[in-house]
Amino acid sequence: MSNTRNKPIASSLNEIPNKIYYSISEVSDYTGVEPHVLRYWETKFTRLNPKRVGGNQRKYTRNDLELLYEIVHLLYQEGYTLDGAERKLRMGLQAVRAEREAIQQERAAATIGAVETAPPAVNPAPVLVEEASEQPLSQPAEETETAPPPNALSEIKSELLQLLDILDGKKK
């Protein structure tokens, strides 16, 4: 079972008609987020507070829509949790957007620099299976600095076995 969320398919904010109020079904259509999720988000995001009119219907403003688009972006594209997105949005919507644009510009500049300095790609000749079996095996790669020494692993194993014995003793 995958731990990824289904990403909503949102309309562009520029494609949305400019109105005073939007119903929850319209907001759901524009953002790609189900109405029950929008209602839940109202409890999690203090800044998301649509106006309630006759019969307790929610009416969202353009600012609410912009906030929802940012929430969708933080949750589904940047992978924030609800609490993390709420903390991020406390900085203010404009600050969050400015930070994201700065990061995108840095990435674009880094990508352009990397492309300019990248060595040309080398395509090795394909090796046939028959040829590969005749070639001697290469020497194993040297151990990296991050690999623990073998005696450390045996110490960990013995400690785990001791813990297992202790736990088995408590079960009896």
Domain ranges of the chain: 13-112
How far, CA to CA in Å, does 128 sit from each of 123, 125, 132, 133?
A: 15, 10, 6, 9
Residue 97 has pLDDT above 60, yes or no: yes
Mean pLDDT value across residues 36-44 = 94
Q: Which residues of 137-170 are buried (b: 16+ CB within 10 A; e: fewer)?
A: eeeeeeeeeeeeeeeeeeeeeeeeeeeeeeeeee
* Per-residue confidence (pLDDT) for residue 158, from 0 to 100: 83
- Select the more confidently predicted residue: 123 or 79: 79
Residue 57 phi, psi dihedral angles, 5° rounding = -75, 140
What does the CA dihedral 141, 147, 149, 152 come to, rounded to 10 degrees?
-150
Q: What's the whole-number mean pLDDT along residues 113-121?
A: 58
> How confident is the model at residue 148, as a pLDDT?
56
C-alpha 73/C-alpha 104 separation (Å) is: 14
Alpha-carbon distance 36 to 100, whole Å?
28
Higher pLDDT, 52 or 144: 52
Please report the pLDDT score of residue 167 as a whole number. 82
More confident residue, 171 or 106: 106
**Which of 66-70, 81-85, 137-141 is predicted least confidently?**
137-141
59 pLDDT more than 90: yes
Count of Cβ atoms closer than 10 Å to residue 89 Cβ: 20
Q: How confident is the model at residue 1 (pLDDT cuts 50, 70, 90)?
A: very low
User: For 3-30, how does the pLDDT look when each residue is reduced to its tens digit (9 = 90+)?
Assistant: 445 666 666 778 888 899 999 999 999 9
d(CA 5, CA 79): 9
For 13-112, CATH number? 1.10.1660.10
Q: Provide the mean pLDDT of the chain.
A: 77
